[in-house]
Structure 1
Amino acid sequence: MASSTTTMITTEDLPALFHDVTPIPQDEGPHIVCRIDYPPEFTIAYDYFRALSAKDEWSERALQLTTLCLQFNPANYTVWHFRRKCMWALLMKEDKSIDLEAFLVNDLTLAAALGGENPKNYQIWYHRRAILEYVEQQTNKELFYTFCRRELDYTAEVFQEDSKNYHAWCFRQWILQTMKAPAIWQEEMDFSHQMIMDGDVRNNSAWNQRWLAAHRGQLTTPLALETAQSEADYALQGARIDPYNECPWRYLIAILKEQCRSSTMEEDKRTWLLQHYLDHAELVKEVLKEADKDPEACPNLSAALVDILEMKGDTEALTHAKQLMHYLEHDIDPIRARYWAFRSKTIEQALSLKSD
């Protein structure tokens, strides 16, 4: 049996291919307000699709028809869903006349072709995931890993065109967490480094991916202190490249907050950790001085200092944080003036409690 994903048909083929099927026109109700002017070929294809869908025909020819329909509208959820029903039905046939791997790879190739002009088409990304889920459930671990590796390579290719494609990043994260392969996480750390330091240090999606990889997919488990320090150092490395970039500063603060909230963190280690990174964050100001920039007028750097000082929580640190917030509110970050005013009030409340 030829693979339907590569056997293309046109609307001219439909009357002969579906000689026993009566097309069902679209029912727009008795009072049409605004009729959509579909191209004739679109109308013909979808009339036949409605007929096959109505009788649940999950056949080879039905799969061919979905290919044609998706060429007209790659975002049609109903067609993608029906297509998968056809695929699974054909693959479950007792005669096993279809090469499963080739069949599914061809469909992934089709999905890539249909998504070329619209790489953020959610339906296409979901289809890729559904294929991997089928491989995981119906085949062996080795073949599943082979498909996963291919899809990781595919997302990497997509990032060359759009490094912030949200759907591609979500799909990539799902693959990693579903594979449950310990070695894959270090590879993903290397990949995130490539996307950040060799690509775009402002790519928040890549920083988010690094967080997932550093945690080995276990997002509710804090990093070990040694790993946390390594990641905090990495964040400062990114901040030195561009101190105005919010991404590394938020990554740093997230690492520190996670450590401070950990029930296993001893108070002396907590104090040392915060002071250490407060000092090193201050040192980033030297980068601004070397670039003849005002080191005190960098909103994201100052905001990070505020967060670290607030985590320290002693009177001196909170007083310093309040001063920085006033500067942020009135001078260097006026667009978030109300936010900083609100934060200042929380600091004032904390200081008043300490003075009582």
Structure 2
Amino acid sequence: MHGIKRTRITPQAAEAKRLKEQGKIEAYLALEQDVLSRKRSKDYTTESLEQTTKLLDLNPEFYTIWNFRRNILLSLFPSLSPEEVVFYLKSDLKLTTSYLLVHPKVYWIWNHRIWCLKSVPTNPDGTKQWKEEFWKGELKLVEKMLDADSRNFHAWDYRRYVLSSLPTQKPLSDELKYTKSKIESNFSNFSAWHCRTKTLLSIWEKEKTSEDKIRKTKDEEFDLVTQALWTDPADQSGWLYHRWLIGSEPPIEVLNREIKNIKDLHEAEPDSKWCMNALAHYTLLSAKYSITSEGDQQKLKEEAKGYYQRLEQVDLDRKERYRDMGKFTSK
């Protein structure tokens, strides 16, 4: 690269480097063979547990070893006191935390944390103090993970799981505030938008919300997502949330209002494929649900067809898809 001084490695240094790497590979393979041998012989000892730690330190994506580790712990737990079980579980959570800092999107690490949480025993006095502490700690951890990477969908999925499992449930309204804060700091956060859909649906189901109140809430959500669309019309996240709000059978006045708003954006962004995608789809919905004459419906279909034809030119990689979508305008 320009500006970087090249250094020549001597043959002796190159050979030393090769031998060092070869030594690491041989040591890893020997450790792997030892752990797999212990697994086959069902050697569920603390020594085997230590060996799995060494191997996972080198390769935390080795899901077979995570399974073996859980079997070892399950074998050890019956002979331990509840306090000792808690000690082992805390150690494993600490271990996986160190792995997640480097490998935040490895399924097997997140899965092992879930297993640890499910394995927390009840306190000897019959209370759930330990469980409460463990779950609250997880919520703090996942918030730190999302502060580091607000779009980590593994962390978002885990957050939903933790919230649903808390012994003392948090108000769903708190989660709405949390997702809104993440969205407003980064409108392209698809996971936050997705979590918001799940939270709203849970609230509506739990509170048996009336259709009028749902519609009022959606109007407020349209205001939020419109900010995202105007801020970055090229980002898909807001458009997907907008389509979720519209649904499959929207009130025609809401549909027409949103079509007008998107047309205003399209005037400012004439080459935005997401604008045209939305206008084509919503115009076809309008043709389907508007109480208009057959001639007016045909005009709307022709308008939608025009958007698809324009998309064929703007988004060449999906040309055939738009051509197929355009055929629906003839039905």
| Category of TM-score, reference length = shorter chain | 0.7 to 0.9
2:59 counterpart of 1:80:
no
Higher relative contact order (CA 8 A, sep 6+): 1
Structure 1 unmatched runs, 5+: 1-35, 261-269, 289-294, 350-356
Contact 1:135 1:144 in 2 (8 A): yes
Query: Which of 304, 308, 316 in structure 2 is aligned with 1:321?
Result: 304
User: Measured at CA, do residues 99 and 177 of structure 1 come closer, stay the same or move farther in structure 2, by a change above 3 Å?
Assistant: closer
State the 1:239 CA deviation. Answer: 1.0
What is the CA-CA distance between 1:218 and the residue it aligns to? 8.3
- Name 1:163's counterpart in structure 2: 150
Q: Work out whether 1:153 is the aligned partner of 2:136.
A: no
Q: How far has the Cα of 1:137 moved from its partner?
A: 8.9
How high is the TM-score relative to the length of structure 1?
0.71
The alpha carbon displacement at 1:274 in A equals 1.1
Match of 1:185 among 159, 166, 172: 172
1:249-260 equivalent positions in 2, closer than 5 A: 249-258=239-248, 260=250
Distance 1:236 1:142, change over 3 A: farther
User: 1:140 and 1:333, CA in 2 relative to 1: closer, same or farther beyond 3 A?
Assistant: farther
CA root-mean-square deviation = 3.2
Instruction: Name the amino acid aligned to 2:78.
Output: M
State the distance in 2 between where 1:94 and 1:149 align.
Answer: 25
Matched-pair contact (CA < 8 Å) for 2:66–2:112: yes
Aligned length: 294
What is the identity, as a one-letter code, of the residue corresponding to 1:69?
L
Give 1:250 shift: 1.7
CA distance in 2, matches of 1:168, 1:75: 17
CA contact (8 A) 1:228 1:259 kept: no
1:348 positional shift: 1.3
Amino acid at match of 2:163: L
**Could you tell me how far apart the structure 1 residues matched to 2:277 and 2:167 are?**
37
- 1:104, 1:193 → 2: CA distance? 34
Q: Which of residues 18, 22, 32 is equivalent to 1:46?
A: 32
Gap change, CA 1:47 and 1:326, over 3 Å in 2? closer
- Percent identity of paired positions between Structure 1 and Structure 2: 22
Contact in 1 for aligned 2:163/2:169 (Cα 8 Å): no
1:75 match: secondary structure: coil
- AA aligned to 2:273 is P
Cα distance in structure 2, aligned partners of 1:136 and 1:228: 42
Q: Is the Cα contact below 8 Å between 1:74 and 1:115 reproduced in 2?
A: no
Residue number among 117, 128, 137 corresponding to 1:132 in the alignment: 117
Q: Distance in 2 between matches of 1:113 and 1:277?
A: 47
Task: Please tell me whether residue 120 in structure 1 is matched to residue 105 in structure 2.
Answer: yes
- How many angstroms apart in 1 are the aligned matches of 2:278 and 2:107? 35
Alignment of 1:185-334 (within 5 A): 185-198=172-185, 200-216=186-202, 224-258=214-248, 260=250, 270-285=251-266, 288=268, 295-313=269-287, 314=290, 315=297, 316-330=299-313, 332-334=314-316
| Cα 1:344–1:182 shift into 2, 3 Å | farther
1:108 corresponds to 2:89:
no
Does the 8 A contact of 1:189 with 1:210 survive in 2?
A: yes
Deviation readout 1:95-140 (Å, 9 max, x if unpaired): 445161x432321111121333322222111111211222389996
TM-score by length of 2: 0.76
Runs of 4+ in 1 over 6 A off after TM superposition: 136-140
